[in-house]
Amino acid sequence: MTDQPTTPLPVIIDCDTGVDDALALLFAVRHPALDLRAVTCVAGNTDVDQVVRNTLTVLEQAGAPDLPVARGAERPLIENTRRAAVHGRDGMGDLGLPAPDRMPVEVDAVTLLRREILAARRPVTLIPTAPLTNIALLLRTHPEVTRNIERIVFMGGAVAVGNATPVAEFNVWHDPEAAAILLTAGVPITMYGLDVFQQVVVPGTDVRRLRASDEPGTRLAGELLAHRPTAQGGPTEAEAAGGLGDAGAVCAVADPAGIATRLLPVEVSLAPGPARGQTIVDRRPRPGESEIHEGAREQPLVDVALEVDVDRFVKLYLETVERP
Ligand code: BDR
Ligand code: CA
């Protein structure tokens, strides 16, 4: 008999805050079954110093306990820095939020990740919602951390359609080599890719209610959601709706039954050209001619999220961020 089911799950978020990373942080801070131990920052949606500022601001507005936040990689392993234009000038929707009073810790992200993972009494779940540069550097610098990692649930990749390119999702496209290192980490991995990421949309009526809240964290969630593009568009109600984005990956940690996954081989395309950054997910039911003629190549298996219960995650998100 262990006390694990009632003990909150230790989690660490590695992010590039980012409108939807901010939604993910708000959720993680407020969910009673999650114990957010640290947050590490990486260049992605915006430059890493702005990511640190945005992250500290969100934690402050959410009334989070004083948890460590560290600055990480300022650029990808090989690629140039390419910020995501959709998140505004400050990377977080230009909401005019105050500068944070909180400060980052003095150690870098890789050092903080190692320290927190090895110090945890129960194996940690890592939730990267950003390019995977920090995670790759951690795995190469301190591979011993894998002994105390329960699972890595990352937002990234796509089985079907990309966003940064027709086939590549932004986080993987931004640093494909880092993503390839993650996939061979030798720990259980869940890929929360664009296929499910884009489906979880909070209806406009709920977004309006959150924005009208007196409570700063809840109100911030509403403001952020109002800045999230959705696949819909057109009628006013759909325009007011907002996708959970990265926050869906944290919902999947708090409530794994909300996604349906399959253990599948996943490989990142690293060759220059139009497929660079694509996550190639092998869904074939049997080996093809390539394997018959050339033999099977060893490939990492990843739990790939193929379906999501949208209503369940929207309800979970709203209940959590509106928690008194
Ligand atoms: C990912 O890219 C970023 O812009 C979002 O924060 C999310 O992590 C989606 O492709
Ligand atoms: Ca992100």
**For residue 306, is it within any domain?**
yes
Residue nearest to atom 7 of ligand 1 (CA): 246
**Which CATH number does the domain housing residue 275 bear?**
3.90.245.10
pLDDT tens for each residue of 23-45: 999 999 999 999 999 999 999 99
| Single-letter code of the amino acid located at 74 | E
Residue nearest to atom 10 of ligand 1 (CA): 170
Q: How many helices (H) and strands (E) does the chain have?
A: 13, 11
**For residue 2, is it within any domain?**
no
Domain count, the chain: 1
Give the domain extent around 148. 9-287+298-321
**For residue 111, is it within any domain?**
yes
Per cent of the chain over pLDDT 70 is 94
CB of 279 within 6 A of ligand 1: the answer is: no
**For residue 4, is it within any domain?**
no
* pLDDT higher than threshold 70 for residue 96: yes
CB of 173 within 6 A of ligand 1: the answer is: no
**For residue 124, is it within any domain?**
yes
Atom of ligand 1 nearest to the CA of 169: 10
CB of 192 within 6 A of ligand 1: the answer is: no
| Single-letter code of the amino acid located at 179 | A
pLDDT tens for each residue of 68-95: 999 999 999 999 888 777 767 888 888 8
Ligand 2 centroid to residue 295 C-alpha, Å: 37
Written as six digits, the tokens of 82 are 């390419």
**For residue 210, is it within any domain?**
yes
Average pLDDT, the chain: 93
pLDDT band at residue 2, thresholds of 50, 70 and 90? very low
Per cent of the chain over pLDDT 90 is 82
**For residue 26, is it within any domain?**
yes
pLDDT tens for each residue of 101-146: 999 999 999 999 999 999 999 999 999 999 999 999 999 999 999 9
Q: 21: closest CA among 221, 268, 261, 258?
A: 221
- Pick from 20, 153, 196 the residue to mutate for probing ligand 1's pocket: most ligand atoms within 8 Å of its CB: 20
**For residue 144, is it within any domain?**
yes
Ligand 2 centroid to residue 15 C-alpha, Å: 6
Q: How far apart are CA 322 and CA 215, in angstroms?
A: 9
